[in-house]
Structure 1
Amino acid sequence: MELLEFNIDDIKVKLASKVKGVLFDCEDHLEFGEERYQLVEGNFYQYELPEGYQLDDRHELVETNAFHTNQGRITPNIYVGQVSIPVLDAEETKVAELKLEVRSIKANYRSDYRFMLETITEKCTDLLLQSNSPVTQHFDIDYEKDSSSTYQRFSFIKSVIDNEEFDEAIQRILTSPVTKWIEKTEVVNTQRIKRLGSFEIRQLTTGSQRTSLPSSHHLHSVGLTSIPNKISSYSKTDSVDTPENRFVKHALETYLKFCSDIQSKASVGSRLYLEAKAVTQKLESYLHNTIFKGISRPTSLKLNSPILQRKEGYRELLKSWLVFDLAAKLTWQGGDDVYRAGKRDVATLYEYWLFFTLLDLFKDAFEIEPKETSKLIQKTNDGLGLQLKQGQHTALKGVFNTSTRELNVSFNYNKSFSGKSEYPEGGSWTKSMRPDYTLSFWPKSITKVEEAERLEQVVHIHFDAKYKVLHLNQIIDEEEETSRSFKNADILKMHAYKDAIRRTGGAYVLYPGTESMKEKGFHEIIPGLGAFPVRPSRTNTGIADLKAFILEVINHFVNRASQREFLSNKVYDIYRDKPSELNEPIPEKYGDKNIIPDETFVLVGFYRSAEHYNWIKKGQYNFRMGSGNGSLILEQEVIGAKYLLLHTHKEKKSGDLWKIVSKGPKVYSRLNLEKKGYPKATDEKDYEKHYLVIEIEKVTDKEFVGREWDYTKLSNYSEGNAKAYPFTTTLTELMKVIMKPTQ
């Protein structure tokens, strides 16, 4: 049992948890703009107040004890951030407020949160600096209009000026500032002058308050008998009052004014107030350094200075200055998901951060044009809005080019796959699903993805962000799940994406860990399932595994002979027409392969006489070659036929079914056929003809033995002389004309 006791307005509060290491009294809370007393998400906390007091159980995290109203339970679940719970007296009047901070289960969530928000700010300002972005209009912050918008703006600015890089830059400037030599005039004792210039020499003859020189002094030789006691002299000294240092001072003062204004407008004790106060104090400490006392105000800002652009410290400060104004203009509706009402939802922020991380990765691999990315920033009534929000679809299109293939590529955030759409439209077979990120590929010749869906020519690869997964075994571990682990649910969700969303090639978890998992469905990289580590870090994101996977996927799509390509074409062929119906019994296999009746072809052939039939019974059948009537055209259905149905004169039905056992037809001349026992020709011109010969054997399958078929009802059958011409049909069609036994 872990216990935390403290007072709020002389009211004693007790918090207890059965789990150790989840209750904190943080003395450094102001540095991070947090509340002093802190909990960890995903746990239950018992509380107790003095008799006569209770927590307002209308708060979503509070459960009051039915018998003792001064006791109860606080249940943060997955909420992370600031919690403010009213404390009521016996008359249910608010007398105080219990303020708590709910931490993420991730130990390093503070640094992750700061880093990811900083990165998003950098990416947004990069977008704003693009030539086609709407950055020309000036916007002023209306502090009275929308407090959440103000906090968003401050969060962006805070990520620019309240980070390690900025702190290190200021320290470099303070310890090694740029200086310049300046000359200053001072009155000094003449005897202490070591070097005399023309200015000092002139004063030797004109200066007042003089002292006589001894008669033996060598200056008597030049007519100088006395020298002044003191003269004015120039000296050089180091000065920090340079244009670059004036810029540094001006930038810090501008940042300080912004944060001070935010603090003065914020409610005392609110998260915005505490964070603004912490940044204000840090900036004030910088400006109190003695170096700034000797620096005057700038008359102009020379931003093209080589020192500002190249020297360490100054370079980073210039960068912060360039993005400062843009960041102050930026609003983000999606930011409400991260920090509205005191939230600090680092898991949702991870999802947004991954969007930009994946965008950078895909921009390197695919031609995503700047005009596509510039759509992420749009003008709004109160500034410039980042068009990225959880649950709101965002799509960026590009092109993948190689010497052998061109593909359209679409990178989607929160793309919804409707469960109401019917095949062949895109969507889900069951319930609507919305993966965090979807990468879609389809041929360049097909302009719209909707058309590619109908033609079975698009492939989707899905990714889901899981910040709270610490280790890979939390995804794949078979053991019983605890309240802190997510385990099988995440990987099962990937199975759901893969199996439910039409034309899905793979589904993968992205999490801030170290191990990757990549399971292939068959012999190729997709379809598949897996997990890849992507950590919020500037130097060690671990994205290498994901990048290698994307390169494998690219190589896979170049391969036109892949199994996936074959399968998609087959699916289109299978489902584009109304499905056949066959209820008659047929054999399960032909050799070692299953019979697919729609793809199993039957040759229907004619024999002229009993002599001809006797030759056929030896295991061979022939078709005439050439361009004349009755010649067999070598189509795929002919070459791949599995069965032969024979008929002769004056028949309307036949049960004479044979199995074709040769791998393909062979070519024989008439003379060669006669040597094998074929009936002799009655016309000399027949010896000029050639024939295709196949090897056959009588069927023994019980499903065919003793059955007869009315071949005259087959679609390719022709009356008259043409009825002796060979033609093909499918096994499905043949079984539909089977003769039913008479009763």
Structure 2
Amino acid sequence: MEVPINGEDGYWLVGEDLITYEGRLYLFEWAEYWVVGERPFIVKAGGEEVVSRKIKENAYVAQFSFRNYVGRARVEVIEEKGRKIFRDVEVLSRKILQIYGIKKDEEDIKAIIEVHRRFYETIVNDIIKISSLLPFSVRAPTGFGVVESGEPMSELFAYHYLRSNKERILEAFETMLRHIKRKLVVEEDWLGLEDVSEVTSETFFSIVQYPEHLVSVGEGVLLSEYLRGHVPMRVLSFRKYESVDTPENRFVKYFLNLLVEWSERVIGVFGDRAEVNAIEELLREFEFIRSNGVWEEIGEMKFFPYTSQALLKGVGYRDLLELYREFTAYSPFFEELQGAIDNKDIAKLYEYWAFFRLVEELGEILGSKELKIVITPGGELPESGDVYAEFDNGWRLYYNKELVPKRWSYSVTMRPDFSLFDGDPDRAGTRLIGVFDAKFKLDVVDEPKEMESFDEEVEALEREWNYWTWAKLEDIYKMHTYRDALGCRFAVVVYPGDVSVFFKTRGRKLTDFDLATLILLDDFEGVGYLKLRPEVVENDGFG
């Protein structure tokens, strides 16, 4: 099958596994595709760039595939002069049917699309549901040198921020209003004599220079004796009064409106998927604060008052500034999660889901009474800061933490999906217990007979390299690399399969182990796979 990349640009997308269904173009992971064109080009797809090769006069071709990626994607063609054309597609996996044991033909595109849809909806709802039950602590950046986004990355971040900081926010606003800052305003104006509190040289000059303001009066007025029976109705003088329209108060008004806006957005997005009673109550509190007449006297913020000492040090103000910086600090954790939701990136969503699910299960094992998820913003865009869950016994599970040489790795920097420490890794004496990698794939050890075939597959891979065998063995090799380089007790792949298998260092192989066994038994040393699967559909097919 072949379809045009975009209109009549002369580029075609070719492959056996091209499906058009209800107006959308579907491709499959690991399948091979080609872009064919009349001129030299580069194709960007599946995380790689492929330079076209000439096959005959006015005919060029480039081959690509999507490896271990499921979700929305773009096939982009870049010509030699820089012109770009593209075609948006959605990448599917036929193995989604195997995950849930659905007895459908792998060529049944409607069934595959339906299970993908259900899986996506379930995993997103699970992420929202599980994370909504976990307490979050978003740390403020240490200074204004960090990247600030101007607004939070997503409604999910705003949900956790508002839910976790409700009391802090309300207390800060109440304190600020009790100690609201005012400034003395001095304005030159035409004033009646009864309003003049200070006489200056400008006052005398205004009497002489503007005789039209003089009126004739009778006897008995002292001032008229010096002005030939006249007194001024108005004179130039200075009006002095206190105003709350200050830069720091404009900031507070802006922040209050921002919180109202995001509270409404959170309720609109999560009203039927998460507990939002606390957010609704907080929104009512915000509306009550906003009903205070003082805000009518305060203008709109036109610039951020970074240098305001009242904002940096004032009672209530400094707390609101800290809260604002937490609210708008760059947080890749939530930005990437929102991107995965928007792009239907199933592998990335599974990674987030696995993190929250592991936190939930580890909380049951290690204690969850004081459990919290801490998020510290990164200093620059490429940095992700720290994201970790801390359990009652002091252990921490980190998300995507860099494990640097000398401190953790004896070779190069490594970044497992999740790293489990027995304390704060910045403190001496803390041990790395184990690491996890989340893989949305089935090409591992789904069947007992496959557990016996690793040696055979290694030999097969040496004889003839292919994507399928490499994908299966790649994970177990990587776990050995992690464990050897990091010196941790275990390295485990979590995946949406049916079988858990663990290869102990002394050559013993165990099946159907669970997370509690892995964590609580100190002699559980080695590598393996741990089943961790979202429950989406019934095994007997569609209802």
TM-score of the pair, normalised by structure 2 = 0.49
Give the number of the structure with larger relative contact order, counting CA–CA contacts within 8 Å between residues 6 or more apart.
2
Normalising by structure 1, report the TM-score: 0.37
